[in-house]
Amino acid sequence: MTDPLSKFATATEIAGAVMSKKVKASAVIDATLKRIAAAEPTVNAFTDIVAERARKRAAEIDAGNHRGPLMGVPFAVKNLFDIAGLPTRAGSKINVDGPKAARDGALVRKLEAAGAILVGGLNMGEYAYDFTGENAHYGPSRNPRDTTRMSGGSSGGSGAAVASGEVPLALGSDTNGSIRVPSSLCGLFGLKPTYGRLSRAGSFPFVDAFDHLGPIARSAEDLALSFDAMQGWDPDDPVCTDRPSDPTLPRLIEGIDGLRIAIAGDYFARGGEPEAFEAVATVAKALGASKTVVLPQAAAARAAAYVITAIEGGQLHLPRLRARPQDFDPDTRERFMAGALLPGAWYVKAQRFRRHYRANVLKIFDEADIVLAPATPCTAPKLGQVMMKLGGVDLPVRANLGLFTQPISFIGLPVVVAPLQRPGGLPIGVQLIAKPYNEQAALRVAAFLEKQGIAAAPPA
């Protein structure tokens, strides 16, 4: 059995040990805080550590309060989630001068209601406009698999904290790929749920049209465990669905029986490095999938996602771009400025196209329950790397790490990233894409791949 105090313990194992009183929550938190202190000088995943709060919460749990399925599980959140008493940085310097959060974000409250214990806020790309995990104000989140490389972003701290073994569970946000890119580059399981499935209340926005929140973990079971605890309607997020919760954890044992699995071709089968497509082929083989489907007009979908992101992001930050341009990260400032100036006609066209694309892509799910696609076009680039070669073409790193994630989040489909560790090389992830509200199918496939030894996410 895994030692619940070690970095190898999953959230499920820790909760089981605390629930059965094999270990105290206080001991789990002490061990976690020690690991964080030891790892941070090299990993740089955290911007805020709430040690006193975590110890207090652990003592309450040990006193018999707050029983729940995540009892005693330490977790951390991307610093765009509100943490009571702290400014919500959202990766920026500017927000630190703003008001302190009056209460925790909705998902933090839900996880703590299930017995989990928040230990801190995590580094991220400024205002989430990022795929690299780099940040001019707080330094880059380093990839624990190779600390000279990018963690991926914008939930870079979330990826780094889980891959290093500092915490078994972290929350991130994903607008164009910000959960899936770090999950792929850091070799972790990540879940971007259906748009509107989880409440975004109490988190700093980026692009309302496709902002999602979700978990990153080291097992498919931990994704399901935390996802189930976070589901439910929330009137504080107008986009949050009022559909009943759909528990996924009890369904993991069903395996892949009855699931039709296909491979995304065309756009998703070119423009990346060989390892991205090899990973898809490995997963397809393990699942016995051979059928190829085409998501029509995926390149236009990526373009539309880019346009909506640039214009909504530019508009959101316009007051700050006017008043404090010098305080932005140089890597986001001019992109936000350019976005604010793009034509309104593009935005409306992108939104109209979105409905058209959604209708066509949903037809694919008449014949497949899960569609496989690469999560990133390559493994983790070097920190500071500006250009990369994809399919023989020189392209900017920042704009292209999300090449394969953008056309999916654009229409809010749920996706689980299954990580493949590559002995002697860096990990890379595969997207398991499902139809809206069918997270359970993607999680079942991820759990199956893990059981087969194809996908795995041990700490670095």
Among 310, 378, 388, 446, binds other proteins (CB under 8 A): 310
Among 303, 324, 360, 437, binds other proteins (CB under 8 A): 303
Residue numbers 329-368 binding other proteins by CB under 8 A: 333-335, 337-342, 346, 348-356, 358
CB of 245 to other proteins, least distance (A): 22
Q: Is 249 left (phi over 0), alpha (psi -120 to 50) or beta?
A: alpha
Residue numbers 205-244 binding other proteins by CB under 8 A: 209
Write down the catalytic residue from 26, 155, 178, 409. Answer: 178
- Segment lying near other proteins (by CB under 8 A), choices 124-132, 179-187, 229-237, 316-324: 316-324
For residue 286, state whether it binds other proteins (rule: CB under 8 A): no
Tell me, what amino acid is at 110?
Answer: K
Q: Which is nearer to other proteins, 168 or 407 (CB)?
A: 407
For residue 299, state whether it binds other proteins (rule: CB under 8 A): yes
Query: For the chain, how are helix, strand and coil distributed in percent, rounded to 5?
Result: 40, 15, 45
Host H or E run for residue 433: strand 428-434
Active site residue 78: yes
CB of 195 to other proteins, least distance (A): 10
Which ranges constitute the DSSP H helices of 78-200? 106-113, 156-163, 180-186
Active site residue 178: yes
CB of 211 to other proteins, least distance (A): 13
Whose structure tokens read 């694309």? 357
CB of 119 to other proteins, least distance (A): 37
Residue numbers 170-209 binding other proteins by CB under 8 A: 209
Question: What is the rounded distance in angstroms from the CA atom of residue 218 to the CA atom of residue 12?
Answer: 10
Total site size for other proteins, rule CB under 8 A: 36
Among 81, 306, 365, 404, binds other proteins (CB under 8 A): 306
Tally of CA atoms within 13 A in the half-sphere of 300 that contains its CB: 16
Q: Which is nearer to other proteins, 58 or 310 (CB)?
A: 310
Q: Which is nearer to other proteins, 57 or 302 (CB)?
A: 302
Quickly count: other Cβ atoms within 10 Å of residue 220's Cβ. 28
CA proximity to 36, closest of 124, 28, 15:
28
CB of 450 to other proteins, least distance (A): 35
Which positions from 396 to 435 touch other proteins by CB under 8 A, shown as an x/- string? x--x------------------------------------
**Whether the Cβ atoms of residue 260 and residue 453 lie closer than 8 Å to each other:** no
CB of 342 to other proteins, least distance (A): 6
Write down the catalytic residue from 154, 158, 173, 219. Answer: 154
Question: What is the rounded distance in angstroms from the CA atom of residue 442 to the CA atom of residue 303?
Answer: 26
In 156-295, the DSSP E strands lie at: 169-174, 189-192, 212-217, 261-264, 292-293
Quickly count: other Cβ atoms within 10 Å of residue 426's Cβ. 19
Whether cis (ω within 30° of 0) applies to the bond prior to 154 is yes
76: its two tokens: 């951390």
86: its two tokens: 């702290």
Specify the pairing of strand 292-293 against strand 415-420: unpaired
Q: Which is nearer to other proteins, 52 or 394 (CB)?
A: 394
CB of 338 to other proteins, least distance (A): 4
Whose structure tokens read 């690991």? 35
Q: Which is nearer to other proteins, 105 or 412 (CB)?
A: 412
Tally of CA atoms within 13 A in the half-sphere of 380 that contains its CB: 35
Binding site for other proteins (CB under 8 A): 209, 297, 299-300, 302-304, 306-307, 310, 318, 321-322, 325, 333-335, 337-342, 346, 348-356, 358, 396, 399
Instruction: Cite the active site residues.
Output: 78, 154, 178
